[in-house]
Amino acid sequence: AQSVAQPEDQVNVAEGNPLTVKCTYSVSGNPYLFWYVQYPNRGLQFLLKYITGDNLVKGSYGFEAEFNKSQTSFHLKKPSALVSDSALYFCAGRAPNTGGFKTIFGAGTRLFVKA
Amino acid sequence: KAGVTQTPRYLIKTRGQQVTLSCSPISGHRSVSWYQQTPGQGLQFLFEYFSETQRNKGNFPGRFSGRQFSNSRSEMNVSTLELGDSALYLCASRVEGSTGELFFGEGSRLTVL
């Protein structure tokens, strides 16, 4: 079965420090991988995606993610955290060229950035 | 360009009732997916529609159903509501043939009493 795992329920970081939110995947083939962010009482917003090519992907709001095929990981990173980055982050994956369309989401990681 | 619109945003029902939720995708998006979000289960895939056809279905009982209209608008219905159906129901659309990134609506928060 295909799955996406986010091993940390919560990540705490001080403002100005680098942050990492971890994600590992078990998706067949060369998967498409995504990060989304959710603010309270809102839908999910797309941050970035890895399709192919450079393993370091840059996205919105200064976020980036590193794809590591050997470790089947796709960790979200930001060099300097802001209090406004506090939110719920979801990693997601999809197997390309599959019939239909089904994106699998991780359980989510809540990020707290303290001033 | 308008985003994905979901109605209603909030609703309260009692056990045994039924509910219909509506989703209007971004103009030009023909694929619509539905997800259930709860604190304990995270985001669970319900179903996906493309060109009025259900193309994929998650592991939910038959009480959960959906449909898509010719204008790509979609509805989902939950019959015989149970307390455990209380959740945020999210709709997402995307451009067919794209690399799969989803555009989400704000969600419909259902409370079952």
Region B99-112: mean pLDDT is 92
Query: At residue A18, does pLDDT exceed 70?
Result: yes
Check CB contact under 8 Å for A42 and B4: no
DSSP A44-69: EEEEEEE-SS-SEEE-GGG-EEEEET
- pLDDT tens-place string over residues B42-69: 899 999 999 999 988 999 999 999 999 9
Classify residue B27 by its DSSP letter. Answer: T
> Measured in whole angstroms, how far is the alpha carbon of residue A100 from the centre of its chain?
23
User: Residue B78 — pLDDT band, cuts 50, 70, 90?
Assistant: very high
- Please tell me which of the candidates B50, B102, B105 has its beta carbon nearest to residue A46: B102
A69 part of contact set with chain B, CB < 8 Å: no
Nearest to B100 among A36, A103, A108 (CB): A103
pLDDT at A74 over 80: yes
Q: Flag if A103 and B107 touch (Cβ within 8 Å).
A: no
The 3-class SS string of B89-113 reads EEEEEECCCCCCCCEECCCEEEEEC
* pLDDT, mean of residues A66-89: 96
